[in-house]
Copies of this chain bind each other. A is one copy, B any other.
């Protein structure tokens, strides 16, 4: 424990000095995993500081995963993992962390950092900080200026005719689904969902005790035949870029689905989570735009096309639902930062949003093309590439019998991180489909990644 007896100076807070010292010992490998640290009391005596000071230092180290606390035993060193790896592990699927160095991480749900319009965003954000509205509680439904901008944007980009009154701002798709689940609960007790489909939506419906009807996804999207055989009057669907298969539901099926909702007096929840990125044709109009008064609740998000950290999403309610929805939640404050909402409104108003989307579409199109070409050239008939026309990832289906987990481990051992898809399936069948995202990788990294996968998989 000799190293811990550091010299405290008066320049920075004492807890911070202790924290930084211990952290650097761990990072440099001088304190090994499972080493017991001096107790809070011991360390306080050694360093002539208060117990609070040592407690705070240790707590910060625990929070960051450098050390762990075991009840009645004390504090112990944890294995050190670089931060971005930790992050990625936390986000997707909690894979074992045996790998020591990741060269290429095909993580989906990331953002191209190089292309992010940081300057314009910072400018808008600093301008908004001068506005009086930051000192107030915001409008329950969301910033009127943002809702107004969104209604213009949705008309231009998705053909959706809506008014700002129909738009509800939320912090995420999941948060909006939480409210919808409460709202629809009195009339509906079950919901049909795509299989495979977005696990994050299923979680919310299950938290609210909905019975789930998993419906198969085929080449034309969700199977309408299967849907009609259930007694569900509610369906959650990603028709424009099915998650995760990337399938687009054709217009005749969309019309049939709209008729189904009308006949059932039910509702379709259309999640249009990454409508912005379609590379080979014009974007297909949203389901909600096909028919005036359609029984569709439309969801969109800024998490994929912009950044997830501002937590900004929105939904468009059909006009028959607005009054009852607003009434039910009239006592509930808006939970999304009004600073970010107004910043996004200014960002859109000044044209930054449209040029950002145009730029990202070109950037991501090039990356998608590179990834698909490399995969085809390298693996040919041995794999099937799914969903290459849109979105920020592809799925690859393997023709052989190797299991998902084994392929992931083989890739990992060559420094490449690829992701499973089994978590998107409700039912537990045997299939081997992996997910490769590319949004935050450079063209060179994508090429290197596929090369390494070739060495890893050797088939």
Contacts and interface: CB of A to CB of B under 8 A. Distances in A.
B199 A307 contact: no
Contact of A122 (B52, B129, B309): B129
Contact of A340 (B165, B332, B337): B337
Nearest to A149: B60
Contacts of A13: 351
Interface string A292-314: 00000000000100011111000
A116 interface: yes
22 contacts: A16-B349, A52-B156, A55-B155, A56-B148, A63-B151, A63-B164, A65-B144, A69-B163, A91-B136, A109-B137, A113-B135, A122-B126, A135-B440, A137-B303, A138-B309, A171-B336, A174-B333, A200-B332, A203-B332, A207-B332, A309-B337, A310-B339
Interface hub of A65, A136, A351 (most chain B Cβ within 10 A): A136
A84 interface: yes
B144 A64 contact: yes
A207 B332 CA distance: 10
The oligomer's copy count stands at 2
Contacts of A329: 207
Nearest to A202: B331
A175 interface: yes
A111 B13 CA distance: 29
A60 B172 CA distance: 24
Interface SS majority for chain A: helix
A178 interface: yes
Interface of A: 13, 15-16, 52, 55-56, 59-60, 62-65, 69, 84, 87, 90-91, 109-111, 113, 116, 118, 121-122, 125-126, 129, 132-139, 144-145, 147-148, 151-152, 155-156, 163-165, 171-172, 174-175, 178, 182, 199-200, 203-204, 207-208, 303, 307-311, 328-329, 331-340, 349, 351, 440
B63 A144 contact: yes
A121 B113 contact: no
Q: Which 10 A-B pairs have the closest CB atoms?
A: A203-B331, A63-B164, A171-B335, A63-B148, A63-B144, A309-B338, A56-B152, A60-B148, A111-B135, A134-B309
Contacts of A337: 171, 309-311, 337, 340
